[in-house]
Amino acid sequence: DLENKNTDGPRPCSENVRDMAQYGVAVELRNVSSRYPDVTLWSLRDVSFRVERGQPAVLGGDEQLWSSTILKLLARLYDPQRGAILVDGQEIRTLRLEDLRNTLTVMFQACKLLPMSVH
């Protein structure tokens, strides 16, 4: 099971944290490679793409592992071993973790909607 192997808690921000409100939400992965702790196989290898501000992005395919890995990297549950993740040109590690996570919106393909309101 590759899920939830991060036992040391969320990743810290760098010392020179920047306010996410100053930046848009354009996201770019540059040659990102990542693997989970204690796993020898790469879950992502040399992945690059850019999503412009306001443009929806769909992560899909037959293999769900890579798309969930990208989501975990964007939420900074893990940091990539290689490459960079940029938010409007700023390294993701320089953004406030709370702001970053409040900016993400995720909708899973196989989700269960409950007949209730969220307040």
pTM to 2 decimals? Answer: 0.69
| 84: helix, strand or coil | strand
Contact 109, 55 (CB under 8 A): no
pLDDT of residue 103: 78
Non-local (6+) Cβ contacts of 119 within 8 A are none
Looking at the domain that runs over 20-103, which CATH code has it been given?
A: 3.40.50.300
d(CA 10, CA 101): 11
Q: Which residues of the chain are under the pLDDT cut of 50?
A: 1-7, 23
| 47: helix, strand or coil | strand
Instruction: Dump pLDDT digits (tens) for 49-72.
Output: 998 887 777 776 655 667 888 988
Give me the residue spans of the domains in the chain: 20-103
